[in-house]
């Protein structure tokens, strides 16, 4: 568990989990999730009801935390799948054939995605049971094919939305990003597709500099000036949209950005087919961010150390921040 398990209003913090995979159809995946989760829990009458918003999406209803989603991770095809085959532009044989061909191609390279609702921290381990069921049924992950760029994403709810709390999480992550990237061993295909780009070092220098203490507006503006994109290892846009939607929408026109009081950690690979791998692997790395963000004195110390490193050209050329970071974390008792 992280040091801060409750929000500022006393509620248990929640975490959403997303995992991408191949080897199973949307229907097969949804049936496995329903059997694994609802068969064991039986969340009242109708638990695990399967809804079909479109031909490439399934929602599982009945969990008190919210609906589970299973879908083909292809926005254009999903938009086609939400429309009736009888509509003028898709109702003819050519339109149907085009969609079917697109589906067949997509099913070879586009992952099926399982998306949990925001789960209370005390329920987070349940996702491991789902991973085990998917693995046993033949689900495949990032390393199964050179064309796969599959990932696992964590959406931890922030314990508080005041500017200092958010700044501390952001600074903790920026100091640890290179170390986390090495720990995650990000797959080559995901790196080549620019799925989760590192933060520009110019922005890192600004955000971890001594005495950087912006108000909320300045924190968001500084972020948007350097990062007007979802394509970051820690995507802050959902949280900033939750705090100031008009400001974010004016700078970033992307319908995929959803307003929510969470951080969006996009770095880990999906290794669902690897024996022994489960949520605890990326989660334990994320906990280091949590511990550092919750310890202002140690955070200030590491920010100062990393700032000096980035501003020393010789040290950047000859040093190894990942190794220095590992040593510092171990010395300061922040590793589990």
Closest CA to 63 of 17, 2, 3: 17
- Could you give phi then psi for residue 72, rounded to 5 degrees? -85, 125
Residue 150 confidence (pLDDT)? 86
- Give pLDDT, residue 274: 94
Please tell me the predicted confidence (pLDDT) of residue 169.
Answer: 98
- The predicted model scores a pTM of 0.90
Q: What are phi and psi of 120, to 5 degrees?
A: -55, 145
Note the pLDDT of residue 239. 98
Listed residue (176, 258, 167) closest to 218, CA to CA? 167
All residues at 6 or more sequence positions from 323 whose CB lies less than 8 Å from its CB, including other chains: none
Q: What is the C-alpha to C-alpha distance for residues 11 and 120, in angstroms, rounded to an integer? A: 9
Question: Distances in Å between the alpha carbon of 155 and those of 40, 110, 124, 262?
Answer: 25, 22, 12, 6
CA distance 49 to 319: 55
The residues of the chain scoring below 50 in pLDDT are 45, 90, 190-192
């Amino acid at each position: 568990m992280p040091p801060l398990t409750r929000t500022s209003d006393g509620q248990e913090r929640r975490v959403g989990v997303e995992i991408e995979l191949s080897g199973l159809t949307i229907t097969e995946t949804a049936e496995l999730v329903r059997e694994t989760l609802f068969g064991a829990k039986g969340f009242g009458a109708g638990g695990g009801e399967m809804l079909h918003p479109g031909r490439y999406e399934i929602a599982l209803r009945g969990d008190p935390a919210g609906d589970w989603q299973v879908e083909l991770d292809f926005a254009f095809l999903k938009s086609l799948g939400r429309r009736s085959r009888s509509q003028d532009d898709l109702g003819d044989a050519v339109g149907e054939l085009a969609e079917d061909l697109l589906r067949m191609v997509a099913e070879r390279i586009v992952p099926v995605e399982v998306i949990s609702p925001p789960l209370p921290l005390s329920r987070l381990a349940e996702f491991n049971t789902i991973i085990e069921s998917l693995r046993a049924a033949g689900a495949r992950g990032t390393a199964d094919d050179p064309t796969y760029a599959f990932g696992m994403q964590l959406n931890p709810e922030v314990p508080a939305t005041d500017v200092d709390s958010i700044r501390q999480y952001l600074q903790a992550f920026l100091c640890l990003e290179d170390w986390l990237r090495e720990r995650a061993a990000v797959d080559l295909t995901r790196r080549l597709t620019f799925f989760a780009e590192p933060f520009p070092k110019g922005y890192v220098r600004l955000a971890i500099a001594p005495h950087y203490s912006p108000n909320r507006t300045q924190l968001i503006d500084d972020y948007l000036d350097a990062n007007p994109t979802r394509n970051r290892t820690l995507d802050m846009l959902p949280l900033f949209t939750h705090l100031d939607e008009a400001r974010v929408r004016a700078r970033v026109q992307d319908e995929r950005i959803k307003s929510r009081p969470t951080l969006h950690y996009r770095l880990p690979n999906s290794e669902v087919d690897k024996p022994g791998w489960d949520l605890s692997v990326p989660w334990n790395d994320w906990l280091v961010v949590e511990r550092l963000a919750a310890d202002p004195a140690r955070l200030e110390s590491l920010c100062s150390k990393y700032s000096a490193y980035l501003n020393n050209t010789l040290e950047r050329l000859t040093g190894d921040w990942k190794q220095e970071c590992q040593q510092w974390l171990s010395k300061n008792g922040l590793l589990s």
